[in-house]
Structures are given as C-alpha cells and as structure tokens.
Amino acid sequence: MPMKLRVVVFLLMSFSALSALGQSMPPAGGLPPSGGLPLASGLPPAGALPPSGGWPPAGGEGPCAVSKQSNVPARMRDGVVLYADVYRPQTKKLVPVILMRTQYNKEAAQVQPSRFETPQWFASHCYLVVIQDIRGQYASKGTFYEYAHDRDDGYDTVEWAAHLPGSNGKVGMYGSSYVGATQWLAATATPPALKTIVPSNTASDYYDGWTYEDGAFRLAFIEYWMMADIVQSAARNRGDTAAADKLHEQVKDIAKWFKFRPYDQFPPFHRNDPSFAPYFFDAIKHSSDDAYWKAFSIKTRYDKVHVPVLAFEGWYDAFLNGGLENFEGMRKQGGTELARTDQRIVIGPWEHLGWGRPTSPVSPRLKAIGPVANSPVNELMLAWFDHFLKGEDNHVATGPRVDYFEMGENKWHSSDAWPLRGTVYQSWYLASGGHGASKMGDGALTETAPGGKVTGGAQAHAVSEVGGAVAAQTLDAPSDEFVYDPSDPVPSVGGHSCCSWTYGPQGQFDQSAIEQRSDILVYSSQPLKQPLEVTGPVTMTLYAKSTATDTDFTVKLVDVYPDGTAVNLNDGILDVRFRDSLSSPTPIELGKVYKYTIHVWPTSNLFQVGHRIRVEISSSDFPQFAPNPNTGEPFGVSAKWQKATQTILHDREHPSAILLPVIPAGASGAGADKAPQL
C-alpha cells in the first residue's frame, strides 16, 4: 500500500475507533447482536454456552476488571464497515491487543465446543480483546466470499485495533480453523502492529489440504461445512432468511446430498443465483491448483510473515499437514530471524473440534485416552502473548519446537525439529501370493524387498496368519487385483476430515468391518517382537495400473492389536491425473504401469510388542473424498461413472513399499503425562 494511502487509512480507522468510545453502534441493516444462526443437526454452534456449565471452567482470571463495548465499527480501505466487540480491561496502563477475526459469530468467540476461554477471561489478564465478524458475516457489512478479503481486511483491522484508545500498539491474533486462515492471510500482508499469531487447526493452502487433497475433492468437509455454516450465515447476513432456513433443513439430509452428482449443479446452493454460494462453484470449476487458488496461498508467502507463530494441530485434524507445512516453511523462509526462530507447534490426539476437553465431541477411542490428552491452548497461548506482547521473560519462547503426543504410549514429547532428528526411514514392502484382497487374503508386509532373502538363508517368503492358519507367499508374487466401483465406494471409517466425528469421517476407529471388502487390499506384518515408534511423515511408493484413464488410489496405515482390533493412524489419497503436478493434470494410459508417490498424512504412534503394522490399499474413501468416476471427464461436470480394474504390483521390478519414519528406541526421551503449558 502506498504511504499516503496508509496514512489516510490509519486516520479513518482511528476516527472510527474514537467515535465508537463509550457507545454501542448497531450495524444498520445488519444482524442484531443476539442474532444467531439456526443450528444444523449435530453441529454445535461455535462458542455457545455449555448447557451444563462444563466449559469454560471457572477460575484462572487475571487482576483486571473488564467492560464490554458491542458493535464497535472499523472502516476498511474500500469503505465497508466491519463490527467488533471490544473487551476493555480497567487499567490506566496501555495494554496489548488480542484480536480474533471470525465468520462464526463474534459473540460466540469459539469458546465452544471446549476450545478457548472467553474473551472476558483473556481481557482480565490485562489485554484489550477484540472479536470481529469478518466481511459479510453476522453483524459486519459487505459481501462474504471465502478468503478473498481477509488479507486486506486483516491488515486494516490489525492497524485499526492497534490505534484503539488504551492500546500499546502491539497486536496478537488467535482462533481456530477459518479463524486461523484469517490470521495467516493478515500476516502475509505484513501489518506493522502485528507481533504474533496463534492459529489452531488451520492450513497452509486453500487448494491442497483444504478443498482438495492431492487432487481429490474433500467432499464430506466442504459440503457439510458450507451447508451448515458459512452459506447459511452469509444468507442471513444479507437478509435471505428463507434460504437460510431451507438450508438448515436440507443439511439434515447430508448423507443424501453427498451422493448428488454432478457437483457443479448442487441444488442446495442455487446454481443459477450468483450471489448465493459462488465460492463453492468456483471451487468445483478450479479443480487444479491454478491462479484462482494461488491468490490465497499461504505457503508461497512465508517471507512476508515477520512474526513468531504458536500453532495447535491434531493427528486426525483436516489441516494437520498444512499446520506442519507452515511450521517448516516459516523455519526456513520466515521474513525475519525472530520469525524463523520462534516457531512452535503443539500436536495432540485430536480431531478438528475434539481437543480432549471434558465436553469435546471427540471420537470414543481418543476420548478414552483421558485427561493426559487435554489441550493446553489457553494456558500456553496466554504465556505466549505475555512474552511477545508484554515482554515477560517466562521461557515460553524455546523455538523452534514441536510438542507432540505419541499415541500407543500416550505420552507428550518435544523436539526442536520436524521431522524429528535421528529419524530412520524404514521401507516395508507389500507381498502376497496374488490374493491380497480383504483381511482374509494372503497379503503381507515385510522388511525384505521382493526377490530378497530372509534371515537365516531360508527360502524367500513372507508369512501371515490367515484364519489362525499360517500361509506362505513368495515375495516375488506379481500382483494383486481388485475392481473399483464408484457406485459402491469404500466407506470412510474415521480419518482426518472436518469437523466432528458425530457427523463426519474423522477420528480413530476399528477398521475390521470394512477390511472384509474385496476392493481393499490388506497387507499385514508379523506380530512385532520389539516396540516400534513411528513419528513423522509417511510415504507410499505404489506401482499400479488401471483400466481407466483417471482414477484414485488410497493408502491407510493401521495399528493391529493382538485381539484383531485394527485402528487407523492416518491415510492418504492420490488422483492419478495429479501424479506429476497439482497444476497440470494429465490422464494415464490404460494398462500402463505407473510409479505413484502417495503422501500418507503424518502420525506419531508406538506399535507395541505383539501388534502388527498394516497397510490398506484401495481406490475410494467415501464420503471423506468424492469417489473418482473413472471417466476422465473434468471434475464435477457429469454424473457418469464406470468401473475400473486396479492392479497393484510388488515384484522385483516394482517394489511397492511404505516408508515409515522410525524413531530409535530411547531417542525421543521420557514422555510427560501432561501437555506443556510453557
């Protein structure tokens, strides 16, 4: 922004702030402060008060009394007015600002389900807390279009908040999911007053790892999130109550809508009304990583971010990969030495909304881990702000640092790098006698490469238990085969989706039931004789051919317990058109063998003695991802589909294998029974 324009903007924003002192200015034509979004079945409103008072917990307040100003206006550079609630500590000292920019209702402030403490709580620690509705949502004016305005509006709001009476000019930001996106987008605009951000459960890119994943459309997340949240609230903001009410009813039939084709004619979003949900149809139209998505990308702009970052992620969150990519990207490319050094991320056994709190909607297996899995977000975030906004020497800045929860052991560990230092990458090869379909088949997972020799000079073979009997397979078996039918896709059982396991495919679950399907290849190791810690990114090298010119391949890493329980650790998918480039998709040749690299999302798990490592291979994971129709047509424009025969090779010339990041015994040190609070 030219200097003269910045001066004008700052004067306008400062005038708006001064005129708002001591008064509450309701937005003309906007929602009243108490206006709430009717709730889709199963989706808790972000920030609603807990029915039983279980969250937020009492206690821990700071020394400052707090007053609240509602609907304080801030004028953006294009004249659009956004409204915020300001929580003011009663002190004569100038204090820092903590800012949240949200599309989920400023009055909610993402308190529920069981995430952040209230704005009053943070303000009591002598911070000026500002919770703002973003453009076109709830009380704020303008037209909502996801991501498009949040860089400029974020810059303008940060500088406006820094000039509020009582502010010392330093601003920190916080919030989860899209509210993490509003932080990153603002930070890439480099506002001078911004000193740190604390984004939780958010991504590095809004094409790959948000809307799509290695070319596959993230169906369950995008359709439900938009129907239940942002499209509804945007409709209410512009006064279209009837349409919002209809969406509120339609989302109750989300299972039906997941099956609707073609996506570019999705009825709930009124395809012929360009004001209703244009961002959804634009997302379908732009199914590759083109200029449309690059305009919003974070990962190409780390050099513009000059501030320290404290991030929170979960092993089963929709944006885990992006959170780790942000950590690594900022360490290497951050715009200042301070930013490159003071990067910290905390990763727990969490889903998108399930943060291990007593009232979190976390899936049952993760819930059973108990209080050791609780998130330290509020305590650690407050200490972080105290250091970077108030200058307190509290030893919270020990970056770069990764605090991670190791499942299986159920302990917390810390590292100064990601991937962890000393990681040993082990290849585990697929093998079978040609009958690897389902867990009843003869698929095996072995450290011996195809055609190799086993220890002791015995005849090369892998051994697996099938129905209690022992079967041998030659390691050089040519292939396994299955038929992928898009009309009968493999059901999602858990995964890394969004936003709650109660209405979406996320979390940790037993995979045993679906492993009986003939369109899932199952490869299992022998029971482990020693514990094996796997922490880090996981990669699958898959040699495969198909009778389609476009199709998907899926990979899932599983921990099999001695009783047969098979729990998913993480998964990955690849639309084969995107095997070489996310920007320039190309079809494959029928019947030609290709070498695919499939990114299985990171995990941290201790495989205990007697457990097995298992890899599942298939071509669908529905509704987590839209089933590939195998036709090769442009994405989302047709309801046609066809079956495809998929062949997975694992011979000498085609050594299909999963690469596991193994941590040597004792290298990660003794684990802690509580998440770090400093």
568 contact partners, CB below 8 Å, separation of at least 6: 493, 494, 495, 508, 509, 511, 556, 557, 558
Q: CA 347, CA 420: separation in Å to the nearest integer? A: 14
AA letter at 490: V
How would DSSP label each residue in 335-354? SSHHHHH-EEEEEES--SS-
No. of helices (H) and no. of strands (E), the chain = 14, 27
Of the chain, the end-to-end C-alpha distance in Å amounts to: 37
Q: CA 523, CA 534: separation in Å to the nearest integer? A: 18
- 231 within 8 A of 276, measured Cβ to Cβ: yes
137 contact partners, CB below 8 Å, separation of at least 6: 102, 103, 104, 105, 144, 230, 233, 234, 237
Residue 629 has what DSSP assignment? Answer: -
Which of helix, strand or coil describes residue 68?
Answer: strand
- 336 within 8 A of 428, measured Cβ to Cβ: no
352 is catalytic: yes
- 23 within 8 A of 70, measured Cβ to Cβ: no
633 contact partners, CB below 8 Å, separation of at least 6: 640
Question: Could you say which of 140, 167, 177, 479 is catalytic?
Answer: 177
**Phi and psi at residue 12, in whole multiples of 5°?**
-65, -45
AA letter at 248: H
Question: Could you say which of 85, 229, 317, 550 is catalytic?
Answer: 317
317 is catalytic: yes
For residue 601, CA distances in Å to 279, 468, 540 come to 27, 32, 10
Cα angle, residue 498 at apex, residues 225 and 279 outer, rounded to 5°: 35
387 is catalytic: no
- 87 within 8 A of 61, measured Cβ to Cβ: no
Alpha carbon 509 to chain centroid, angstroms = 18
Which of helix, strand or coil describes residue 300?
Answer: coil
**For residue 177, what are its two tokens?**
């999911």
Q: CA 206, CA 186: separation in Å to the nearest integer? A: 15
Whole-number CA gyration radius for the chain? 25
**Phi and psi at residue 269, in whole multiples of 5°?**
-100, 15
**For residue 371, what are its two tokens?**
């209080």
For residue 340, CA distances in Å to 303, 320, 328 come to 10, 20, 9
- 408 within 8 A of 606, measured Cβ to Cβ: yes
For residue 127, CA distances in Å to 99, 112, 192, 535, 560 come to 10, 21, 19, 38, 48
Cα angle, residue 450 at apex, residues 444 and 452 outer, rounded to 5°: 115
Question: Could you say which of 352, 461, 496, 654 is catalytic?
Answer: 352
How would DSSP label each residue in 559-600? EE-TTS-EEEEEEEEEEGGGSS-SSS--PPPTT--EEEEEEE
Q: Active-site residues: which are they?
A: 177, 317, 352
